[in-house]
Each structure stands twice: as structure tokens, then as C-alpha cells.
DNA sequence: CTCCCGTTGCACACTGGTGTGCAGTCTACT
DNA sequence: AGTAGACTGCACACCAGTGTGCAACGGGAG
């Protein structure tokens, strides 16, 4: 055998299949991002494929959404653990986290809308680990007195990341303005003084 | 004639009709608040009435939502103009605004979810006046240097009131905790220092 | 060349919500 | 007593989306 662990056989076959599968997922993010109520037909058309084919890859609409959510969780978790382990001060870590998670949040902003109504429970369940890591970071900031303690870490982290998603979902999500706005705003609401907040984002524009 | 300007005739008739109409509207807020995708049937049942009757008062689902939105706009505008005219400092005015608008925001939180998808345009149109008044208040605060200027007033006001609605929509919307959280958080993100913010909400708990 | 298999295009049944029509009932006003 | 009108209960047509079945087609793998 000429392979080294991964399946090389059917190379072109399964590769083109995975291509369409990935294309469906990618385009589903765009389409659902514009209209969370878009149907499988809309997604299929946008992916240059027939509705029947989409059902070939994802037996039901829920499967598609679930896969999308799992993707998002994976990406966000990767960034979050890395930032959490960097040993930087909590506020600086937060700035880096937002900067790196911003494109991801923008791409997956649709999950915010999908979070209520029909798929809410499924998405909420998948998002558990992310919530924990987020709360850890905020807790660390509160313990070292760089974040305010007017709210418990669990809630404060939820509100803060809610704001980031809200801005990512709003009109100003394009360009760097959105990222700056989200970073400064979330820092302020975490209790970081304005001067310090602006200094921090100045470092990473 | 025995009336003084308003129609007294058909008193009991139209009154009981308005009662059911108002009851439908009230219960629609509750039902849609729990599930924005609830159908006319669900609303009708919850209102103790038949689906056909709802269509008697509101020819289409859009009419119902529009009426709900108009109600919300009226109530919020009333509070906002009153607070805006009180002549208080902008941050204090903001605190009073949130305190008084909180029950309203909580009741009408469903409009946040309904704002996208199908009715988004209609709702957005109705909300125009509110946005302006809100921006005025924030602008006043920025001009008198009690609010931060890291974002233009139009955007900052949108983000701030978005956060208030987000908290009103979240799990901690019940009790006074939600109101406190929303007030402090929005003050912080408006650039009010933490000590000042806590002092302000201490005045009006 | 032949087979496999992803894809296509069409078919269908099913669900759930919307909006309408109409005859009937009950009740407050005349 | 009679009537207007709000409400009911049932009917219907309509639409949009979901999920499935199946006979082709077409290109890469054996």
C-alpha cells in the first residue's frame, strides 16, 4: 500500500464529493446569514446543485445546521484555548481573542438567529464548551481585578460575547470598524477603563 | 346627546370587542415572546378565542405584528421624550430611561427576534423615530463629555439599546437583576466610569 | 469496456401555516 | 320582539417547505 494512514484510494472520487459537501456548507452560511429562514432549495441553488443532492449529504435540515454549529464550535474553541493558555493579562487576552475570533463570528453570525426557534436546543447544547472557556477567561480577569465584578463571570461573559455577536450581526460588521467597535465596546462593558481600552486596541488595530 | 366628545353609544358592545382585541394583542406578546414562530392558531387558543376571530380583528399576521410594533413605539417614545426633556445630565437621564423602559422592553422583546425575517422591514420602518430620539440622547452625552466618543452617536446608541434588549431577552430578564445588569452594562459601554455608573444606579435601584 | 456511484430531474406524499367563506348561535341594543 | 353584530365552527383552497423514491446520466476507477 502506498498510503500513510489516510485513505488515498478513491482519491478523486471522494475528494470531489467532499468538495461539494464543503461547498454546500460554505454557501449555506452565506445564504442563511442573509435569511435564516431560507430553505434547502435556496441553499442548493446557491451551491450550484440540486436540492436532492443536499439531502444526499445531509439527511435533514437539522443535520446541516448541526454540522455548521460543530464547525463553529471547533474554530472558536481552538482560538479560545490558545488565547487562554497564552498567559497574557485577561484584558489583553480578550483583545486578542476578539481580533482572532472576529472573522469566525462574522461568518457564523447566523447561529445567533438560529439559536431560537426549532434548532435552539441543539445549538445551545453544542455551545456548552465555548461558554465554559469564555467564563473562565472572564473569571480570570475578575480575579486579577482588570474586569469589573458587577456581574458574575458566567453572566458577564454571556453578555459580552452576545454584544460581539450582535455587532458582528449588525450593519457595521464589514471592514475593520466593526472589529474595533466590538472590541472597545466589549472591553468597556467588562469594566476596563476607556483609556486602557483604547490603548489596548491601539496595539492590535 | 349625553356624551362629551367620545362615542358612548354601543358602549358595552364596542367595549367588549375592544376587550377581546386588546386581549389578543396582550397574549400575542406572551406567545410570540416564547416562540416567535408561533402561528395565529396558537395566539388564538391562548387568548381563549377561535382562529377565525383573530382574523376578524387583524386581516393578516402582518397587521397584528404591525399593531404590536406601533404600541411599542408609542410607549417607548413617550418615555424617551419625557426623559429627554427632563434636563438632567445625559448619564442620569439614561439611567432613568432604562429604569422606566425596562418593563416595556421586556414585554416587547419579541420584536427583536421578529426584526429579521419577513417582518424586518416593516418593524424597522416603524422604529425610525425611536432611533432618532435615542441618538439625540447619546449625542447630548457625548457633547457634554459624559459619554465616550469612540463611536458615532448613531451607532453607539444602536449598540447600547441593542444590549438592553439582549439582556431583556436573556434568561436574567426576570427580577430586578436584569434591570441592574442592563443599566450598568449599558452605562459602561457608553463610556461612563465604573464608579460613577454604580453610584448612578445606586440612586435608582 | 464495464461497473460504480455521485449527481440529476422528476415524481410524490406529507405537514403546517395562511387566509377566506358561510351558516349558525348568543347577546346587547332598539 | 326584533335585529345587528361579534363570535363560533366548520369548510375549503392555497402555498411553501420537507423528505423520499426512482429512473436516468456521466465520468472516474477497476
CB–CB contact B155 A188 (8 Å): no
Predicted confidence (pLDDT) per residue in B160-188, tens digit: 888 888 777 776 666 677 788 888 889 99
Q: How much is the pLDDT for B81?
A: 94
Per-residue flag: A122 CB under 7 A of strand D:
no
**Residue B78 in contact with partner chain A when CB distance is under 8 A:** no
Among A29-38, A65-74, A131-140, B167-176, where is mean pLDDT lowest? B167-176
What is the distance, to the nearest Å, from the Cα of residue B168 to the centroid of all Cα atoms in its chain? 10
A113, closest residue in chain B (CA to CA): B113
Q: How much is the pLDDT for A133?
A: 93
Predicted confidence (pLDDT) per residue in A172-202, tens digit: 666 677 788 889 889 999 999 989 999 998 7
Residue B127 in grid coordinates: 422604529
**Residue A200 in contact with partner chain B when CB distance is under 8 A:** no
Per-residue pLDDT tens digits of chain B, which is 205 residues long:
444 434 445 677 777 788 899 999 999 999 999 888 999 999 999 999 999 999 999 999 999 999 999 999 999 999 999 998 988 999 999 999 999 998 898 899 888 888 877 888 899 999 999 999 999 999 999 999 999 988 889 888 888 888 888 777 776 666 677 788 888 889 999 999 989 999 998 765 5
Q: How much is the pLDDT for A203?
A: 62
| pLDDT (mean) for A101-126 | 88
Helix-strand-coil split of chain A, %, nearest 5: 75, 0, 25
Of A117, A188, A191, the CB nearest to B191: A188
Q: Give the residue with minimal CA–C1' separation from D19.
A: A60
| pLDDT (mean) for A133-139 | 94
Q: How much is the pLDDT for A114?
A: 87
The winner for highest mean pLDDT among A44-58, A114-128, A172-186, B78-92 is A44-58
Selection from A131, A121, A113, A97 nearest residue A29 by Cα: A113
**Residue A185 in contact with partner chain B when CB distance is under 8 A:** yes
Under the banding of pLDDT at 50, 70 and 90, the label for residue A123 is: very high
Residues whose CB is less than 8 angstroms from the CB of residue A70 and which lie 6 or more positions away in sequence, other chains included? A126
What distance in Å separates residue B193's CA from the closest CA in chain A? 7
Q: Which one is predicted more confidently, A110 or A203?
A: A110
Q: What is the pTM of this model?
A: 0.84
Q: How much is the pLDDT for B58?
A: 97
**Does the structure show a pLDDT above 80 at A130?**
yes
Q: How much is the pLDDT for A179?
A: 83
Q: Are B195 and B184 in contact (CB under 8 A)?
A: no
How far apart are alpha carbons B139 and B156 in whole angstroms? 9
Q: Tell me the CA distances in angstroms from B104 to A118, A124, B50, B159, B168, one per residue in order.
A: 26, 27, 28, 18, 10
| pLDDT (mean) for A145-150 | 91
Helix (H, G, I), strand (E, B) or coil at A114: helix
Secondary structure (H, E, C), A166-196:
HHHHCHHHCHHHHHHHHHHHHHHHCCCCHHH
Amino acid at each position: 500500500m502506498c498510503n500513510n494512514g489516510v485513505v488515498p484510494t478513491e482519491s478523486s472520487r471522494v475528494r470531489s464529493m467532499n468538495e461539494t459537501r464543503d461547498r454546500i456548507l460554505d454557501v449555506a452560511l452565506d445564504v442563511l446569514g442573509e435569511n435564516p429562514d431560507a430553505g434547502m432549495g435556496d441553499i442548493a441553488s446557491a451551491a450550484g446543485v440540486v436540492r436532492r443532492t443536499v439531502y444526499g449529504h445531509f439527511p435533514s435540515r437539522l443535520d446541516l445546521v448541526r454540522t455548521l454549529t460543530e464547525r463553529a464550535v471547533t474554530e472558536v474553541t481552538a482560538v479560545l484555548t490558545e488565547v487562554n493558555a497564552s498567559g497574557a493579562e485577561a484584558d489583553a487576552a480578550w483583545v486578542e481573542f476578539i481580533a482572532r475570533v472576529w472573522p469566525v463570528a462574522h461568518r457564523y453570525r447566523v447561529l445567533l438567529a438560529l439559536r431560537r426557534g426549532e434548532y435552539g436546543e441543539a445549538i445551545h447544547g453544542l455551545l456548552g464548551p465555548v461558554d465554559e472557556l469564555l467564563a473562565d477567561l472572564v473569571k480570570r480577569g475578575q480575579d486579577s481585578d482588570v474586569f469589573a465584578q458587577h456581574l458574575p463571570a458566567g453572566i458577564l461573559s454571556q453578555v459580552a460575547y452576545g454584544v460581539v455577536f450582535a455587532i458582528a450581526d449588525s450593519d457595521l460588521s464589514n471592514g475593520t470598524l466593526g472589529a474595533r467597535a466590538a472590541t472597545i465596546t466589549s472591553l468597556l462593558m467588562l469594566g476596563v477603563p476607556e483609556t486602557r481600552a483604547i490603548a489596548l486596541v491601539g496595539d492590535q488595530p
